[in-house]
């Protein structure tokens, strides 16, 4: 990482006395201005719940951010679509790319026919609960009926925060009580042999997941320092025990193989969305689907979604070298998700 010139710190000091403290983590004056504004707004909005004077509270939070602690942990929340998602150390911070495909999926679901009893949604590796909560909010806003929405995670800390986010957004009114009553979060290991029976259901209509998908090497070399230092590795990198279950040269893909197997046990949900790290990883997941006659028979539509699937003017054929497969790629940006549909 290049060193910042002293002149930049001088300019930052003219913006605000605390601005130079943020410059090493923000790396630009524009980011410094934005983060200072957000932190100041947070201090003003939350001052009634703190005994510390606002100016001292501002200094404390800027000092925390200057250590490299992600802004979402400093402020305690992150906007996610129409929702306000509480964030806490030990649980992965929601990403804007996840928000984009979740909203796009909601638009697809609302424009297609739904079961008369309402959609049954299952989110694996739910973390903060941001995906099922935003899906629920967006679908209810479009008058798309829901039957049940379930988020599952192995981490008790994640499940506790997801439940808190459900209650928090009900209080804010971003989730309707009639919708919130259909949402539940369960602690369970998706690799458990009795996962489906413990779940208490054998059919779902929509299966989504943002699972751990980064290799140990990728975590060490490709992630930001703030991610390595502060976000939970468990949510980003499959554990050695999980990777040992992989039969491929990419053990970081082990969750995809397991979730695709679960999709068959759950009688092939009508739609499946799996978040990935890159176009390369997405093509490996597509190869898994093509390697399964059962999955190929069930899913007529197989697409790779980029960061912004709603933009880019439709789909573009992408040939996967080495396995002789052409798949449709939708949107703009980096490869971000694999989408399967029985329609």
The answer to whether residue 23 is domain-embedded is yes
| C-alpha separations of 74 from 8, 39, 328 in Å | 24, 8, 40
Whether residue 166 is found in the same domain as residue 222 = yes
Same domain, 172 and 219: yes
Within-domain flag for 159: yes
Please name which of 67, 75, 137 lies closest in space to residue 103, comparing C-alpha atoms.
137
Find where tokens 């290799």 sit: 215
Which residues in the chain land under pLDDT 50?
Answer: none
Residue 56 and residue 118 in one domain: no
Assess whether 102 and 53 both reside in one domain: no
When computed from its CA atoms, the radius of gyration of the chain, rounded to whole angstroms, is 21
Pair 29, 113 in one domain: no
Q: Which residues contact 99 (CB under 8 A, 6 or more apart)?
A: 80, 81, 130, 134
Same domain for 169 and 43, yes or no, is no
Residue 289 lies in a domain: yes
Q: In terms of residue numbers, what domain contains 195? A: 96-341
Map 169-223 to HEC letters.
HHHHCCCCHHHHCCEEEEECCCCCCCHHHHHCCCCCCEEEECCCCCCHHHHHHCC
Q: Beta strand pairing status for 206-209 and 119-124? A: parallel
208/114 same-domain check: yes
Q: Are 141 and 210 members of one domain?
A: yes
Give the whole-angstrom CA distance, residue 197 versus residue 210: 22
90 occurs within a structural domain: no
Would you tell me how many other CB atoms lie within 10 Å of the CB of residue 65? Answer: 24
Neighbours of 313 (CB within 10 A): 8
Q: Is 81 left (phi over 0), alpha (psi -120 to 50) or beta?
A: left
| Residue 71 near residue 62 (C-beta atoms within 8 A) | no
Query: Is there a single domain that holds both residue 38 and residue 151?
Result: no
Q: Structure tokens of 260?
A: 């695709």
Into how many domains does the chain fold?
Answer: 2
Same structural domain, 250 and 151: yes
Answer whether residue 298 is part of any domain. yes
Q: Which residues have a Cβ under 8 Å from the Cβ of 266 and sit 6 or more positions away?
A: 122, 196, 201, 202, 203, 204, 207
- Is the same domain home to 106 and 38? no
85 belongs to a structural domain: no
pTM over 0.85: yes
Q: What is the DSSP letter of 76?
A: S
User: What CATH number does the domain containing 222 carry?
Assistant: 3.40.50.150
Residue 55 and residue 102 in one domain: no
In a domain, 83, yes or no: no
**Which of these, 180, 197, 179, 175, lies nearest to 188 by C-alpha position?**
197
In a domain, 219, yes or no: yes
Q: What is the dihedral of CA 185, 186, 188, 192, to 10 degrees?
A: -100
Taking a C-beta distance cutoff of 8 angstroms, is the pair 169, 242 a contact? no
Q: Which of 52, 67, 82 is the last residue of a domain?
A: 67
**Dihedral sign of CA atoms 20, 22, 23, 24 in order:** positive
How many helical (H) and strand (E) elements, i.e. helices and strands, does the chain have?
Answer: 16, 11
- Among the candidates 21, 51, 67, a domain finishes at 67
Looking at 67, 85, 115, which one is the last position of a domain?
67
Predicted confidence at residue 331, as pLDDT, reads 96
């Amino acid at each position: 990482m290049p060193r910042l010139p002293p002149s930049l710190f001088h300019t930052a000091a003219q913006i605000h006395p605390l601005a130079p403290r943020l410059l090493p983590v923000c790396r630009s004056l524009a980011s410094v201005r934005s983060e200072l504004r957000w932190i100041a707004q947070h201090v003003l909005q939350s001052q009634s719940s703190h005994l510390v004077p606002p100016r001292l509270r501002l200094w404390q939070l800027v000092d925390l951010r200057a250590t490299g602690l992600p802004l979402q942990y400093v402020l305690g929340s992150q906007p996610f679509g129409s929702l306000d998602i509480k964030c806490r150390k030990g649980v992965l911070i929601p990403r804007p790319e996840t928000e984009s495909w979740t909203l796009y999926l909601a638009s697809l679901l609302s424009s297609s026919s739904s079961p008369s009893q309402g959609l049954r949604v299952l989110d694996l590796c739910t973390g903060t609960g941001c995906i099922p909560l935003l899906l629920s909010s967006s679908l209810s806003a479009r008058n798309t009926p829901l039957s049940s929405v379930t988020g599952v995670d192995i981490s008790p800390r994640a499940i506790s925060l997801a439940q808190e986010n459900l209650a928090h957004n009900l209080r804010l009114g971003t989730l309707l009580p009639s919708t919130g009553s259909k949402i539940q979060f369960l602690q369970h290991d998706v690799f458990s042999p009795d996962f489906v029976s413990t779940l208490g259901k054998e059919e779902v209509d929509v299966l989504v997941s943002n699972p751990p998908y980064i290799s140990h090497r990728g975590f060490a070399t490709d992630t930001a320092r703030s991610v390595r230092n502060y976000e939970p590795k468990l949510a980003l990198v499959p554990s050695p025990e999980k990777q040992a279950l992989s039969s491929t040269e990419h053990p970081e893909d082990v969750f995809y193989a397991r979730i695709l197997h679960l999709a068959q046990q759950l009688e092939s949900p009508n739609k499946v969305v799996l978040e990935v790290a890159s176009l390369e990883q997405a093509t490996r997941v597509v190869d898994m689907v093509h390697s399964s006659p059962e999955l190929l028979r069930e899913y007529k539509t197989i697409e790779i979604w980029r960061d912004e699937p709603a933009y880019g003017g439709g789909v573009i054929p992408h040939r996967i070298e080495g396995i002789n497969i052409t798949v449709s790629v939708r949107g703009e940006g980096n490869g971000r998700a694999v989408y399967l549909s029985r329609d």
